[in-house]
Amino acid sequence: MLKINNIKIRKDLSEHEILEIALKRHHIKKEDILSWHIAKKSIDARQKDDVHYLYCLHIEVKNEHLYKKIEKVKKISYPFLHTQKTFTSRPIIVGAGPAGLFAALTLVQNKVQPIIIEQGQPVEKRQESIQNFLKTGKLNPLSNVQFGEGGAGTFSDGKLTTGIHSTFCQKVLEDFVFFGAPKQILYLSKPHIGTDHLIHILQNMRQYIISKGGTFLFDTKVIDFEIIDHHIVALHTLCENSQKTLNTSHVILAIGHSSRDTFQTLYQKGVKMVPKNFSVGVRIEHLQKWINEAQYGTITKLNLPPAEYKLAYHSKDNKRSCYTFCMCPGGVVMPSSSEENTIVTNGMSNFLRDGKNANTALLVNITPNDFKSSSPLAGIFFQKDLEEKAFILGGCNYFAPVQRVADFLNNKKSDYLGCVTPTYQPGVTLSNLKEILPDFVSDTLHEGIRFFDTKLHGFAHPDSILTGLETRSSSPVKILRNEHLTSNILGIYPCGEGAGYAGGIMSAAVDGIKCAYALLS
């Protein structure tokens, strides 16, 4: 295939019109084309008077010798095991988030039939539990925005951007499309699926895994790990007050970053883990039209998608940083508590991102030096303390504490809302967030907001809304593993975001694939 790069498009055109431009530029004969597709599409908005799309096309041609000067596409190949390994007991995957699901997918593609244990509900029932929480404030601690089929990423934005470089990233994209994701995720520079699509994709993925011999145990919680001579030999589970023992010698531990009681159980069992850095902060909401104008200007005639941004600030003493994370254009702020009497927030967008507001996490880095003890679990206690304070500040009814940016910068409780209406449900309480944030967090947020306003006009708009708190940006714990991806307890493969080896859907899915390969090897 030929690789046609850097095609600048300044008006809305059909795909075939874009192909015509590429063919004309490189003098490629239309009759020589065997196949073609868009390989990459991005927006260049650096110059507001010249906002345009950038396309890359891959074109398969006959008579390729006539086009020697055009760059060729490098083929991507994935390692694929046709394992001959036999198992005396079925491998078990704990957690049905992206890490667990892609581990399961990899196993069944290699004719191994895992058992997938998930304490939460199948995604369609999970969606009902979440909607009930939004309307009534009644939390299901076992199935919510954090727990259930698909993991925490399901009710976010379905972002597939990542900082990792792995050939498996392309495989993850292709698998998502196979199960029903929009094909454009294969070529958009910042692909996302959207919660509305993810719900159906997860159901398709589940049915495929079952058709290949996999088994799902929903509403089932792992309550203990049976270990003999530093080997895992069984898991003890609880489902509807009924306990059951599952014998196994291979466990992919794909628990999420909010699996606090499981972390405690593993620690008590002697599984080695250490505290790790994470971040805490708030969600900030703007009108989406402000972000569009700040990013795209007002001149372009292109029909552009809702604009995104990514910003970072480092304090003058370099001890702290403030950054945006999980930006959700046209989205809402989600209630993401997984424990009673806590407030946790996250962001969510559907595929079209057509909501009135934009929101992002606004975070400050936390290190183990900030914890009150050296315990590997100290980060959990740090998070939970903040979440309980937010619950009280919000009114002890799962309403989230909110504050106008102008009031936050002036350290005063908000007593009215301006032109930005908070999207958080079940409801909000006007507050002063500095009452519950550590000083170093609120001070860094204060500096960061003012700095970001110089980079993105209107970021510090007085009526922008801060919603507290965002505490689950990543796992506070890292479960140690060796070069074979096993923990100090043989047969346990710590995997994904909860174990400290991923950050987002894509990297978690890739780590799930890697752990499945390690198990098969």
Between residues 317 and 516, the one the model is more confident about: 516
Contacts of 360 (CB under 8 A, 6+ apart): 283, 284, 309, 324, 325, 326, 327, 328, 347
Q: Where residue 180 sits, what CATH number does that domain have? A: 3.50.50.60
pLDDT surpasses 80 at 74? yes
How many C-beta atoms lie closer than 10 Å to residue 314's C-beta? 16
Residue 72 lies in a domain: no
Same domain for 432 and 486: no
Look at the chain and report how many structural domains it folds into: 3
pLDDT surpasses 80 at 451? yes
pLDDT surpasses 90 at 421? yes
Same domain for 50 and 176: no
Band (pLDDT 50/70/90 cuts) for residue 76 is: confident
Collapsing DSSP to helix, strand or coil, 93 comes out as strand
Closest of 325, 283, 102 to residue 208, by C-alpha: 102
Residue 87 lies in a domain: no
Strand partners, 287: 357
202 preceded by a cis bond (ω within 30 of 0): no
Residue 291 lies in a domain: yes
Mean per-residue pLDDT, 478-507: 97
Q: What is the DSSP string of 413-458?
A: ------SPPP--SS-EEE--GGGTS-HHHHHHHHHHHHHHHHHSTT
265 phi/psi in degrees, rounded to 5: -65, -45
What are the structure tokens assigned to 470, written together?
């965002």
Q: Where residue 25 sits, what CATH number does that domain have? A: 3.30.70.2700
Contacts of 362 (CB under 8 A, 6+ apart): 281, 282, 283, 284, 322, 323, 324, 325, 445, 448, 449, 466, 470
Same domain for 347 and 316: yes
133-185 confidence digits (pLDDT tens): 999 999 999 999 999 999 999 998 889 999 898 989 999 999 999 999 999 99
Calculate what percentage of the chain has a pLDDT beyond 70: 99
Residue 85 lies in a domain: no
Residue 36 lies in domain:
2-67
CA 509 to chain centre: 10
Handedness of CA 98, 103, 104, 105 (dihedral sign): positive
Strand partners, 161: none
Same domain for 436 and 328: yes
281-339 confidence digits (pLDDT tens): 999 999 999 999 999 999 998 999 999 999 999 987 778 999 999 999 999 999 999 99
CB of 473 within 8 A of CB of 361?
yes
Number of helices (H), then strands (E), in the chain? 11, 22
Same domain for 488 and 377: no
- Please report the pLDDT score of residue 185 as a whole number: 96
Contacts of 95 (CB under 8 A, 6+ apart): 116, 117, 118, 151, 253, 254, 255, 256, 259, 496, 498
Same domain for 425 and 345: yes
Same domain for 209 and 61: no
Residue 83 lies in a domain: no
101-144 confidence digits (pLDDT tens): 999 999 999 999 999 999 999 999 999 999 999 999 999 999 99
CB of 343 within 8 A of CB of 367?
no
CA 239 to chain centre: 28
Same domain for 259 and 358: no
> Which of 470, 496, 511 is the last residue in one of the domains?
470
Residue 79 lies in a domain: no
For the chain, what is the largest distance between any 2 Cα atoms, rounded to a whole number of angstroms? 72
- Please report the pLDDT score of residue 84 as a whole number: 66
pLDDT surpasses 90 at 83? no
Averaged pLDDT of the chain = 95
15-42 confidence digits (pLDDT tens): 999 999 999 999 999 999 999 999 999 9
Same domain for 289 and 346: yes
Same domain for 149 and 18: no
- State the amino acid at position 47 in one-letter form: Q
Mean per-residue pLDDT, 228-239: 97
Same domain for 255 and 111: yes
Same domain for 394 and 302: yes
Residue 36 lies in a domain: yes
179-211 confidence digits (pLDDT tens): 999 999 999 999 999 999 999 999 999 999 999
- Please report the pLDDT score of residue 448 as a whole number: 97
What are the structure tokens assigned to 402, written together?
């909110």
